[in-house]
Structure formats: structure tokens, C-alpha cells
Structure 1
Amino acid sequence: MLNQLQLIPGALADIMASVADTQTLTIGDRYGLMAALLDDTLQEDERRAIDRILHAVRRGNVRLHS
């Protein structure tokens, strides 16, 4: 049986605000981003926001926190 991931409504905005405030991406945030990326109904602006977060992680502007 496959488990389905579902993003809680408004969670992506909360993740974006948290990352902007703390400059840290937690494990919970990462699972939220994964669920959002696997969602077929993700809007283009939401996908771009996720891309900006991932780009900030690659550049070292956002730290990964366990």
C-alpha cells in the first residue's frame, strides 16, 4: 500500500515565512516542500517559491537544521 502525502492548506506560506525569518530549513519544512512538489495541483508561483528556497540552500543563505 502506498502512503499519500498531502500538504496542509497554507503550509507552504508558513514554511516560506519561517525560512525567511530564521534562515533555517527544518526536517518538517523539508517534508512539507516534498509533499508540495509531489502535489499535482501546485501553482506555478508556488513552484517558483520552492525553487527560490532551494536556491538559497545551495548558495548557503539558508541552513539545513535537523
Structure 2
Amino acid sequence: MGMFDNLKNKATDAVDEHGDKVNEGMDKAGDFADEKTGGEHGDKIDKGTDFAKDRLDGLDGQDDDIQ
């Protein structure tokens, strides 16, 4: 098992166990970035945040951990 496989497994486990906290953290990070850019790129930040959530949620092959 390579280093990246190990990292993926750890990320998958973290999302499975703490999907609600991951979701909350991603939202806070997006809000912070939006605030720092003066709201100029809010739509792009939201789109990127949603994309990242979808990718993290799908690590285990199921979309069930992040709402």
C-alpha cells in the first residue's frame, strides 16, 4: 500500500466518522475565503466548496456522509 492509498484511507475514515464536522469546517473555510475576498468571488467559492464536499463524500463510493 502506497503513501497516497494510506492518506486516502485515513481521509475516508475521517469523513465516514465525522461527516457533519467536515461539512461545517468546509462551510466555515468557504465563508472565511469569501470574507477575505470582499464577497467578489462568493459564487466561485461556493461552487468549489460544494465540489470538494462531493469529492470527499464519494471517497468510499457512497454519497452519504456529508449533507
- TM-score class, shorter-chain normalisation, is 0.3 to 0.5
- What TM-score do the two structures reach when normalised by structure 1? 0.35
* Bigger radius of gyration: 2
Q: Which has the higher strand share?
A: 1
- What TM-score do the two structures reach when normalised by structure 2? 0.35
Q: Which has the higher helix share?
A: 2
